[in-house]
Amino acid sequence: MSAVGTEVLDREDIVEPPEQPSRWHPLTRIAFRFSFVYFGLFCLLFTQILFAFTGLLARSLPDKAVLWEFRALRPIVEPVGRLLFDTDVVLHEDSGSGDQYFIWSFTFCVLIAAVVATLVWTVLDRRRPNYRQLQAWFLLFIRMCLGGQMLFYGFAKMIPTQMSQPALAKLLQPYGEFSPVSVLWNQVGSSPAYEILLGSAEVLGGLLLFLPRTATLGAMVSLVSMAQVFVLNMTFDVPVKILSFHLLLLSMVLLAPQARRLANMLVLNRPSEPATQPDPFRSKRIRSIAIALQVAVGVWMSLGFAQTDLKYWNEGGGGSPKPPLYGIWTVSEFTQDGVPLAPLTTDETRWQRVVFDISGMTYQKMDGTLVPAVSTVDTAAHKISVSAPSAGQPAQIADFSFEQPAPDRLTLNGQLNDRPVTIILQQVDLNSFPLRGRGFNWVQDYGYFR
């Protein structure tokens, strides 16, 4: 082939970028510098965001591997937090809260670093007309990070493990004792179909972000989904406010280059050119390889999240087998030291109900207090051992032998707090609770708002 022909092929292999202003407005350049540093640092350092890229390897890593960035930053963040909040700021590794003093302090540190870096960058690089190439790489990184978090939370809802069906003990707890976040969690968990739909929308937004052609649509779906999540977190006091707000902002950052096109199409009713994500790859060949890698990352993450959530669903969630004696049992007779105890609300010894659930055992005192416990049920030996939950050696509360003369009848004989007792229980029909038994009704002459 001639040199001329080779040159023609090489030119055809080049993807010409769409025409853009050669010189950005000064405020646009400053905004980009700040966004690049702030969101870049946040995504690199915020626990869980990079961890999502471990995909199928996540299960083979130590349980607290996800916190390695925060652990490394403790010497910086904790002193700043103590100065900022005038209180002892430590990283609580045993907490699932994303709104700890430590994380607020971390966010403040990232903000200060971004402001200082922006000032220095602006002084040293004020003559540069634009950052189109750097912007393309930056948005690609943001797409991957946002897509991973959308899949992380989406799969946790699509395989309904984030908000599990309300535990049986929750059916006995007065509504006024619920915290706002508990109200939200149990409301969503009581309707698995609704939770699955919420998760499906988040998964859809995440998957669309891993393909450049559909990235704008994915950012729009993510924006709507995260706006709803952020509002719920703010109004129900869910401790994921910092992360959900930043995921909302990341969706906006991805849509910023498309703002004029979207405004023309959705608001101004004007013609608009096709939406294109800024692309750092000029060669068609390299671009095709890059697209394949982006899709592979999305699939890798999806498989990892699906595997983790399915494992939890089958071993501790709604798909796990129900334990022996599963259900709510009402105490009909309670005898201690051979003396029957009347069902008085002032009696601190007598039990009112016993609950055996997937998450463990709970017994209810006569004043309505629900006390969690750890139980071991040996159906072969007809033995039940009850202990108080403890991080160390559990303290035994009771040791019973049991008989079940009928499926809905249970008799316990043994020691409770070192005193001999006999407890006769009657199983409660779970469908007697409207939350469990009401179901869905096409026809309702009157609303059922009990």
Does residue 450 fall inside a structural domain? no
Residue 308 has pLDDT above 70, yes or no: yes
Give residue 171's pLDDT: 94
Residue 69 has pLDDT above 50, yes or no: yes
Last residue of a domain, one of 79, 96, 129: 129
Q: What is the SS3 assignment for 119?
A: helix
Does residue 213 fall inside a structural domain? yes
Query: Domains in the chain: how many in total?
Result: 3
Q: Cα(155)–Cα(55) distance, rounded to whole angstroms?
A: 13
What is the torsion angle, in degrees rounded to the nearest 10, for the CA atoms of residue 428, residue 429, residue 431 and residue 436?
Answer: 40
Give residue 84's pLDDT: 86
Does residue 136 fall inside a structural domain? yes
Same domain, 305 and 176: yes
Same domain, 103 and 163: no
329 close to 335: Cβ distance less than 8 angstroms: no
Same domain, 122 and 137: no
Give residue 264's pLDDT: 79
Question: Confidence class of residue 392 from pLDDT cuts 50, 70 and 90?
Answer: low
Residue 110 has pLDDT above 60, yes or no: yes
| Residue with more model confidence, 423 or 267 | 423
Does residue 398 fall inside a structural domain? yes
Question: Residue 98 belongs to what domain range?
Answer: 20-129
Question: Confidence class of residue 63 from pLDDT cuts 50, 70 and 90?
Answer: confident
332 close to 348: Cβ distance less than 8 angstroms: no
SS3 readout for 69-90: HHHHHHHHHHHHHHHHHCCCCC
Question: Confidence class of residue 9 from pLDDT cuts 50, 70 and 90?
Answer: very low
Question: Confidence class of residue 147 from pLDDT cuts 50, 70 and 90?
Answer: very high
Q: Over the stretch 151-163, which tens digit does the pLDDT of each residue have?
A: 999 999 999 999 9
High-pLDDT (> 70) share of the chain, %: 94
Give residue 46's pLDDT: 95
Same domain, 29 and 170: no
Same domain, 138 and 277: yes
Beta strand 409-416 with 419-427 is antiparallel
Last residue of a domain, one of 321, 339, 360: 321
Give residue 2's pLDDT: 44
Q: Over the stretch 76-86, which tens digit does the pLDDT of each residue have?
A: 999 999 988 88
Q: What is the SS3 assignment for 14?
A: strand
| Residue with more model confidence, 444 or 276 | 444
354 close to 361: Cβ distance less than 8 angstroms: yes
Q: Over the stretch 344-374, which tens digit does the pLDDT of each residue have?
A: 999 999 999 999 999 889 999 999 999 999 9
Cβ neighbours of residue 24 under 8 Å, at least 6 residues apart?
32, 129, 130, 131
| Residue with more model confidence, 397 or 18 | 397
Same domain, 80 and 149: no
Does residue 443 fall inside a structural domain? no
Give residue 4's pLDDT: 43
Give residue 40's pLDDT: 97
Same domain, 277 and 335: no
CA distances from 352 to 318, 333, 428 (A): 26, 9, 12
Give residue 20's pLDDT: 55
Q: Over the stretch 312-335, which tens digit does the pLDDT of each residue have?
A: 999 888 888 999 899 999 999 999
Residue 340 has pLDDT above 80, yes or no: yes
Same domain, 158 and 285: yes
Last residue of a domain, one of 96, 129, 162: 129
Phi and psi dihedrals of 394, rounded to 5?
-65, 140
Give residue 13's pLDDT: 52
Domain CATH for 348: 2.40.128.20
| Residue with more model confidence, 157 or 1 | 157
Does residue 316 fall inside a structural domain? yes
Q: What is the mean pLDDT of residues 380-391?
A: 88
Same domain, 145 and 52: no
Does residue 39 fall inside a structural domain? yes
The full length of the chain comes to 450
Give exposure, 98-116, as e/b (b: 16+ Cβ within 10 Å).
bbbbbbbbbbebbeeebee
Alpha helices in 161-214 (DSSP H): 180-189, 192-209
What mean pLDDT, rounded, does the chain reach? 89
Same domain, 335 and 206: no
Same domain, 317 and 334: no
Give residue 391's pLDDT: 66
Give residue 21's pLDDT: 57
Same domain, 209 and 275: yes
